Structure 1
Amino acid sequence: MAPVSTADLNLAATNGPPTKIADSKSTANQEIGFLSPPNLHFPNKVAEREYIKGRLAGAYRIFGHFGLNEGLAGHITVRDPIDPATFWVNPFGVDFNLIKKSDLLRVDHQGNILDHGKVKVLNRAAFLIHGAIHEARPDVLCAAHTHSVYGRAFCALGKELDTISLESCIFYDDHIVFEGKGVVLASDEGHDIAAALRDKKAALLRNHGLLTVGQTIEEAVNWFYMLDKCCHVNLLADAAANGRGTETVKISQEEAEYTRGVAGSHKAGWMGGNAMFDLIDELTGKKYLE
């Protein structure tokens, strides 16, 4: 059982009333009334682990609901609170829309399965990519990667997102394009992705798919959802502009940096993802917690 429900969150967790920002040059890192993640208190580490597992199962349901998964490909991982050198991930071959907390696998960075449910099968690419990221980025609790349709299509262009919308500015100078070799089946490829990602929140894996990370599960989920939407919008805008013989209008660097500082923070990421968990709880009756 979760120590606190999303319904218990209240305005005491906010930064106060919306802030009026006058100078974008000096206030690019200010946030406007975003809820903060609650300070969860657990009786012990086992209870914390169970909560994290439940949240991860919910993340898979969110991806399934919004069609962010494709076939058997894709994985979302979360660092284990008891043994941070291990992480939880989905069993290979189980549809995201059916995943429950009891199905999840706990694996180490060598791909050894330490805990499992009914299906004891691991996608090799999951631990090669995510193991390297969790090892290189101690600030990352959760990492998400799938072969979503619009993400995959945009990644075929081998370029960064254009700053053509406020949402795309969230990823301005905070995502990378990785020129990989396709399916990740060797450890050096996973380490190369982690090294290229550096301290960014997202990666466009060329001819492959999207990758996002977060300090919370909610944040990683929200960034992935938004990144895929931005890829979709970029594709539509480029097609429309090409059809008209024009180019898309880009947001300036100054405004893009300001928007990222406001809407691309950890708090903003968590708040957007948290709303998705409220939705999936309503739609599933929290069956994923079984």
Structure 2
Amino acid sequence: MPIPRPNPEPIPTDQLHITMPPTHASPADERRYRKERLAAALRIFGRYGYEEGVSGHITVRDPELTDHFWVNPFGMPFAHVTVSDLILVNEAGQVVDGRYHVNQAAFVVHSSVHRARPDVVAVAHTRSVHGRALSALGELLEPITQDVCAFFEDHGLYDSSTGVVVDEEEGHRIASALGAYKALILRNRGLLTVGDSVDAAAWWFITMERACQAQLSAKAAGKPVLIDHRSAVQTREQLGSDLVAWINYQPLYLQITRGEPDLLN
């Protein structure tokens, strides 16, 4: 049987599908959506090896109780997390919904950032090899590749190391160092990213970790050629929004939810 010949006429753009962030009819619908995205992001981070022991967390603000956030349970591997495993924590670090404990270090850092940045819906701070390696140098990312320009003049350095964060003052200092940026390098600890969705915060973390890897590799091989300031700013304007991050993240979300649909339970 002959293969049908394609229609040579262009299809109108309004007839082509494009995935965009959804709107929600109720806080309950949005809560379920955010929790599903959180469980999926944790699974993806697990695949990429962004955890070590009980360290590493992603949080998402509750759409109705805006001073509460959902977070992964203490001691549960990222690869095992399902929607029903997630716990809800209030500003005092107390679990108000769920069956598990919360890591207090995660509460201090994440709650401080959420409190300082009401525009932030999600925060990611966990253990990645190249992020930790670059953080040990106390350096910012340099504009050496197109993708890293998304962070150009939009990330900071917290140039202090005091061990595990367990006091609120340290959390406040980290939130202050983040300021209005989308990301922060915490010296001797690693990376922290934020976004107006779980998808954006997760994408920024993933691509920032890869940018750290590229910078370390390039500098080990020689002297990288920097992208000029004007081009770096223009590229950031094109690639650096949370919407672009959300769109970039969708193939990863589809891959993990189709491959591991149990995470939605």
TM-score normalised to the size of structure 2? 0.91
In the TM superposition, residue 41 of structure 1 has moved relative to its aligned partner by: 2.5
* Structure 1 residue ranges without an equivalent (≥5): 1-10, 17-34, 242-246
Which residue is 2:149 aligned to?
Answer: 169
Is 1:38 the counterpart of 2:18? The answer is no
Which residue is 2:43 aligned to?
Answer: 61
2:207 to 226, 232, 237: 226
In the TM superposition, residue 274 of structure 1 has moved relative to its aligned partner by: 1.8
* Structure 2 residue ranges without an equivalent (≥5): 1-12
Q: 1:12-23 maps to which residues of 2 (within 5 A)?
A: none
Q: Partners in 2 of 1:190 and 1:13 — Cα distance?
A: 48
Is 1:77 the counterpart of 2:59? The answer is yes
> Helix, strand or coil for the counterpart of 1:203?
strand
> Helix, strand or coil for the counterpart of 1:39?
coil
Which residue is 1:238 aligned to?
Answer: 219
Q: Partners in 2 of 1:268 and 1:124 — Cα distance?
A: 32
Q: Partners in 2 of 1:13 and 1:80 — Cα distance?
A: 35
Change (3 A) 1:40 1:13: farther
Greater Cα offset, 179-188 or 77-86: 179-188
Is 1:195 the counterpart of 2:171? The answer is no
Task: Answer yes or no: is the 8 Å Cα contact 2:21–2:246 preserved in 1.
Answer: no
Task: Answer yes or no: is the 8 Å Cα contact 2:156–2:177 preserved in 1.
Answer: yes
Is 1:213 the counterpart of 2:194? The answer is yes
In the TM superposition, residue 46 of structure 1 has moved relative to its aligned partner by: 2.1
In the TM superposition, residue 36 of structure 1 has moved relative to its aligned partner by: 6.7
Q: Partners in 2 of 1:179 and 1:188 — Cα distance?
A: 15
Which residue is 1:134 aligned to?
Answer: 114
Which residue is 2:231 aligned to?
Answer: 255
Change (3 A) 1:265 1:166: same
**Structure 1 vs Structure 2 CA RMSD:** 1.7
Q: Partners in 1 of 2:83 and 2:125 — Cα distance?
A: 19
Which residue is 1:287 aligned to?
Answer: 262
Q: Partners in 1 of 2:176 and 2:264 — Cα distance?
A: 34
Which residue is 2:6 aligned to?
Answer: none
In the TM superposition, residue 209 of structure 1 has moved relative to its aligned partner by: 1.0
In the TM superposition, residue 287 of structure 1 has moved relative to its aligned partner by: 0.8
Q: Partners in 2 of 1:198 and 1:205 — Cα distance?
A: 13
1:150 to 115, 122, 130: 130
Which residue is 1:96 aligned to?
Answer: 78
1:50-76 CA distance string (max 9 Å, x none): 221111111101111122222221100
> Helix, strand or coil for the counterpart of 1:182?
coil
1:223-280 CA distance string (max 9 Å, x none): 0000000000111011111xxxxx2111111111011000111221111112210111
Q: Partners in 2 of 1:36 and 1:265 — Cα distance?
A: 16
Task: Answer yes or no: is the 8 Å Cα contact 2:89–2:95 preserved in 1.
Answer: yes
Which residue is 2:8 aligned to?
Answer: none
TM-score normalised to the size of structure 1? 0.83
Task: Answer yes or no: is the 8 Å Cα contact 1:70–1:149 preserved in 2.
Answer: no
Q: How many residues align?
A: 252
Letter of the 2:109 partner, please give it: I
In the TM superposition, residue 219 of structure 1 has moved relative to its aligned partner by: 0.6
Greater Cα offset, 194-203 or 62-71: 62-71
In the TM superposition, residue 13 of structure 1 has moved relative to its aligned partner by: 11
Task: Answer yes or no: is the 8 Å Cα contact 2:195–2:201 preserved in 1.
Answer: yes
